Amino acid sequence: MTLWKTKPTLDQIKERSKNSLIDHLGIEYLEIGDDYLKARMPVDQRTKQPAGILHGGASVVLAETLGSVAATLCVDREKKSIVGLEINANHIRPVNDGWVTGVTKPIHVGNTTQIWEIRIYNEQDKLVCVSRLTVANIDR
């Protein structure tokens, strides 16, 4: 059984992300399962800090993107909007280049709030960042 009120294709999600920070950073949606969403982001000049490693803020952008998109799929978009309340991130290891991949899964999907966990991995499947996003489901 799927968690989603509406389950768009990856192309439809990508289309909604055009001309945004998501597009600018090169975030690519990879997979949508019954209760998770997966995307990847390049570690390049757009996402690195001056020290040459993945910027923690870029990891948070990937995390918030995944959690917010997933949360939006859990509500009737004609009636509700999703707004962020809080995000946190624990940065575990640096990444110098390549790609990082994030996967979000729900912790709580309620009528007024949702909580999503996002885990970000490097190309060797080692954990890079763990994040938790809390959103509000507000009336349109």
pLDDT tens for each residue of 70-98:
999 999 999 999 999 999 999 999 999 99
Percent of the chain exceeding pLDDT 90 equals 96
Q: Please check whether residue 2 lies inside any domain of the structure.
A: no
Q: Which residue has the tokens 């009120």?
A: 5
How far apart are the C-alpha atoms of 19 and 42, rounded to whole Å?
17
Domain CATH for 115: 3.10.129.10
Residue in the structure block whose two tokens are 């509000």:
136
**Cα 39 from Cα 10, distance rounded (Å):** 10
Q: Report the number of distinct structural domains present in the chain.
A: 1
Determine the length of the chain: 140
Q: Which residues are catalytic?
A: 64
Residue 3 lies in a domain: no
Domain limits for position 36: 10-139
- Reported confidence tier of residue 1, pLDDT bands at 50, 70, 90: confident
